[in-house]
């Protein structure tokens, strides 16, 4: 098969991106400096998702105007960069998000003071998803600067609530037009044409004893918690404290002062869509404490339940295991623990297979919770997304990636959730998965660091530049097709 792209044009695009890498890096830093964790309890004057998201969106749109594009702000839910009056049916939309997951702990430096080390940009949001958002703006600049004729118009959209439920996209799509084809650059190449469903619910214990002062862990539903905390009112001897330290080892840090025993459990964070290999700090805390004599019998019962409900990642504890050929195994993680009105609530983040029945998942969780003496409450159920595999655009985008990289990848389905589940005619495409150049530096992080939802989140700058060359050529290849292919 001949090449799907013009080699001379590819060389020009490659040169443009290589020459603009340092400038792009500085622009990504501009956006990363904003602590844009979506806040659903924000004051009205702060916008629907809080001041951090508001300020970040303002900066991104200002950047778009600086580079000569028209911008519009849809009530701080979504911003758009492109032309003033697009022909929506003939528009390719690129969608990214500016909100980030909470910082967590364990960072080597301030997560909102990004810096470059050995060719990697480090800071919260550099890869998920601010770096790709800025890169899409640079693609639009590249095509304009090189005066490459386009059959389709381009529009860059940036949202502010992807990590906490996608209310931004639900609002936007209910009120405003969407493009003929949308590409979400928030995954790995080639094409992700399906996403698992996302179910959230929580078990709520009965009333705990007054011995429990604090009991919490986790920062966000989609992160495996790397810390969990318990404070107990206890009258303990120095000998007992040393006994506890020996029993807990490195898993739990022990502090005792003024009749308060403070315990901090350690875990290893991962994205909840791929929890394999993580260590859930909530489980570590509940399991080890339930084996001591620190708790009264009624409290112990609930701690044992929490330990049981966080002991596995495929839902075995609730009898909800499921797997299909399209999307693989259901995953289930207890990710956020809170003490409310002297009752402990444990939030579950479940990524369920495309063919699974979420009603059966809810029933299983409710039944297992009841056996543990807990109530169960459903929080949300975001249904699976499936873009027809037979649509030609899936193969076109995949073939461009394979042709440029020399790989033989196949379109896939994943457990992560992107805006594709909320937007019509959308697939996720890039920017991860491009092979590293030979001799490229590798920044070695300690285990549990460097990933998208981990401390010391990092972005391989050269790798992103190479990914944008692929993405740009893919968009140009779509010049040969109508967008309804």
What's 110-150 look like in SS3?
Answer: CCCCCEEECCEEECCCHHHHHHHHHHHHHHHHHHHHCCCCC
Rounded to whole angstroms, how far apart are CA atoms 95 and 74?
14
Q: How many domains does the chain have?
A: 2
pLDDT in tens, 31-76: 999 999 999 999 999 999 999 999 999 999 999 999 999 999 999 9
In a domain, 235, yes or no: yes
Confidence bin at 4 (pLDDT 50/70/90) = low
Confidence bin at 1 (pLDDT 50/70/90) = very low
Rounded to whole angstroms, how far apart are CA atoms 455 and 270?
10
pLDDT in tens, 260-313: 999 999 999 999 999 999 999 999 999 999 999 999 999 999 999 999 999 999
Asked whether residue 181 falls in the same domain as residue 255, the answer is no
Q: What is the span of the domain harbouring residue 252? A: 197-382
Single out the residue of 23, 117, 24, 118 nearest to residue 440, CA to CA: 118
Q: Helices (H) and strands (E) in the chain — how many of each?
A: 11, 24
Asked whether residue 267 falls in the same domain as residue 329, the answer is yes
Asked whether residue 236 falls in the same domain as residue 376, the answer is yes
Alpha carbon 26 to chain centroid, angstroms: 23
Domain boundary among 382, 401, 430: 382
For residues 95 and 431, is the Cβ–Cβ distance under 8 A? no
For residues 114 and 28, is the Cβ–Cβ distance under 8 A? yes
Q: Count Cα atoms within 13 angstroms, Cβ side, for 409.
A: 28
Asked whether residue 408 falls in the same domain as residue 273, the answer is no
Confidence bin at 216 (pLDDT 50/70/90) = very high
Asked whether residue 339 falls in the same domain as residue 389, the answer is no
Asked whether residue 425 falls in the same domain as residue 372, the answer is no
pLDDT in tens, 217-235: 998 898 999 999 999 999 9
Single out the residue of 324, 301, 404, 318 nearest to residue 364, CA to CA: 318
Q: What is the CATH number of the domain that holds 18?
A: 3.40.630.10
Domain boundary among 330, 348, 382: 382
Asked whether residue 313 falls in the same domain as residue 454, the answer is no
H or E segment and range at residue 174: helix 167-175
In a domain, 485, yes or no: no
For residue 399, what is the DSSP state? H
Domain boundary among 339, 359, 382: 382
For residues 72 and 44, is the Cβ–Cβ distance under 8 A? no
Confidence bin at 114 (pLDDT 50/70/90) = very high
Rounded to whole angstroms, how far apart are CA atoms 29 and 228?
31
Rounded to whole angstroms, how far apart are CA atoms 186 and 129?
7
In a domain, 334, yes or no: yes
Rounded to whole angstroms, how far apart are CA atoms 485 and 481?
7
Asked whether residue 346 falls in the same domain as residue 266, the answer is yes
Asked whether residue 58 falls in the same domain as residue 162, the answer is yes
In a domain, 2, yes or no: no
Residue 67 φ then ψ, to 5° = -95, 15
Asked whether residue 330 falls in the same domain as residue 451, the answer is no
pTM of the model as a whole:
0.82
Asked whether residue 314 falls in the same domain as residue 450, the answer is no
For residues 292 and 244, is the Cβ–Cβ distance under 8 A? yes
Average pLDDT over residues 254-259: 95
Q: What is the CATH number of the domain that holds 353?
A: 3.30.70.360
In a domain, 18, yes or no: yes
Asked whether residue 358 falls in the same domain as residue 417, the answer is no
pLDDT in tens, 139-160: 999 999 999 999 999 999 999 9
In a domain, 347, yes or no: yes
The number of beta carbons lying within 10 Å of the beta carbon of residue 65 is: 11
In a domain, 1, yes or no: no
């Amino acid at each position: 098969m001949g090449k799907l792209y013009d080699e001379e044009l590819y060389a020009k695009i490659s040169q443009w991106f290589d020459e603009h890498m340092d400038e792009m890096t500085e622009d990504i830093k501009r956006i990363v400096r904003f602590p844009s964790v979506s806040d659903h309890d924000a004051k009205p004057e702060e916008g629907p998702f809080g001041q951090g998201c508001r300020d970040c969106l303002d900066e991104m749109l200002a950047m778009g105007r600086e580079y000569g594009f028209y911008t519009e702000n849809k009530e701080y839910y979504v911003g758009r960069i492109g032309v003033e009056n697009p022909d929506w049916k003939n528009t390719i939309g690129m969608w990214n998000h500016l909100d980030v997951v909470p910082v967590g702990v364990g960072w080597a430096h301030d997560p909102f003071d990004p810096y470059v080390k050995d060719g990697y940009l480090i800071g919260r949001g550099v890869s998920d998803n601010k770096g790709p958002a800025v890169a899409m703006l640079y693609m639009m600049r590249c095509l304009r600067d090189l005066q490459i004729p386009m059959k389709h118009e381009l529009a860059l959209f940036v949202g502010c609530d992807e990590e906490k439920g996608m209310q931004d996209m639900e609002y936007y799509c209910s009120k405003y037009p969407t493009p003929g084809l949308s590409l979400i650059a928030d995954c790995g190449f080639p094409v992700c044409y399906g996403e698992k469903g996302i179910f959230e619910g929580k078990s709520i214990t009965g009333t705990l004893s007054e011995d429990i002062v604090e009991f919490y862990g986790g920062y966000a539903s989609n992160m495996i918690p790397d810390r969990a905390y318990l404070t107990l009112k206890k009258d303990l001897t120095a000998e007992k404290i040393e006994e506890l330290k020996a029993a807990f080892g490195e898993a739990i840090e022990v502090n005792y002062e003024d009749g308060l025993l403070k315990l901090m459990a350690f875990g290893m964070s991962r994205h909840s869509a791929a929890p394999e290999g993580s260590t859930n700090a909530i489980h570590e805390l509940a399991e080890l404490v339930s084996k001591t004599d620190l708790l009264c019998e009624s409290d112990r019962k609930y701690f044992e339940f929490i330990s049981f409900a966080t002991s596995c990642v495929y839902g075995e504890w609730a009898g909800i295991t499921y797997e299909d050929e399209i999307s693989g195994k259901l995953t289930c993680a207890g990710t956020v623990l809170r003490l409310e009105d002297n009752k402990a609530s444990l939030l579950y983040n479940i990524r369920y297979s495309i063919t699974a029945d979420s009603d059966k998942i809810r029933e299983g969780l409710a039944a297992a919770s009841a056996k543990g003496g807990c109530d169960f409450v459903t929080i949300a159920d975001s249904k699976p997304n499936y873009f027809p595999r037979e649509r030609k655009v899936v193969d076109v985008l995949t073939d461009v990636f394979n042709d440029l990289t020399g790989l033989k990848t196949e379109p896939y389905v994943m457990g992560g959730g992107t805006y594709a589940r909320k937007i019509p005619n959308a697939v996720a495409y890039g920017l991860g998965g491009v092979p590293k150049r030979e001799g490229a530096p590798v920044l070695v992080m300690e285990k549990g660091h460097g990933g998208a939802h981990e401390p010391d989140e990092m972005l391989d700058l050269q790798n992103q530049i190479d990914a944008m060359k692929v993405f740009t050529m893919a968009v140009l290849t779509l010049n040969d097709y109508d967008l309804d292919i």
